[in-house]
């Protein structure tokens, strides 16, 4: 039977809601949705969607690496946007993080995200053993 282990890192903000930053299970890492949060201020990074997407993906990269994975090991991503008109702008930033062999992906528009951020991204990745 596969064992579930909670993973949190001090390099990102601790969730204020009842969830973990990530869950380790077997060879997989399940990341909770990441947003453009600045760990030094505890506040969301404001600015355009590209600025927010970049910070979100940087946070995701940090969480992956702290847990023993990497962007290269990401299998599946879900992007949540408050405005689907931002799709192209987010793709420009996203392609800088996933340059080759990008993961499977879903992108959906939502009516609102916590902290009134413009983008949130979650992921499933392989763990290094």
Query: d(Cα 73, Cα 119) in Å, to the nearest integer?
Result: 22
Provide the residue ranges of all domains of the chain, joining segments of one domain with +: 4-126
Amino acid 77: pLDDT = 98
pLDDT score of 1: 73
Q: Residues in the chain with pLDDT < 70?
A: 129
Q: pLDDT at position 128, please?
A: 81
| pLDDT score at 113 | 97
The percent of residues in the chain predicted with pLDDT above 90, rounded, is 93
26 Cβ neighbours under 8 A, 6+ residues apart: 2, 3
Per-residue pLDDT at 29: 98
The superfamily CATH assigns to domain 4-126 is RutC-like (3.30.1330.40)
Q: Residue 118 in 3-state DSSP?
A: coil
pTM for this entry:
0.96
| Contact (Cβ atoms closer than 8 angstroms) between residue 107 and residue 79 | yes
């Amino acid at each position: 039977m596969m064992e579930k282990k909670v993973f949190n890192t001090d390099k990102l903000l601790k969730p204020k809601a009842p969830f973990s930053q990530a869950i380790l299970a077997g060879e997989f890492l399940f990341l909770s949705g990441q947003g453009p949060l600045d760990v030094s201020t505890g506040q969301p990074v404001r600015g355009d969607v590209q600025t927010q997407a970049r910070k979100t993906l940087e946070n995701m990269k940090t969480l992956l690496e702290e847990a023993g994975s990497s962007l290269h090991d990401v299998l599946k991503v879900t992007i949540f946007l408050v405005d689907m008109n931002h799709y192209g702008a987010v793709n420009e930033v996203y392609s800088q993080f996933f340059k080759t062999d990008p993961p499977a992906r879903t992108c959906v528009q939502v009516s609102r995200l916590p902290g009134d951020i413009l983008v949130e991204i979650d992921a499933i990745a392989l763990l290094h053993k």
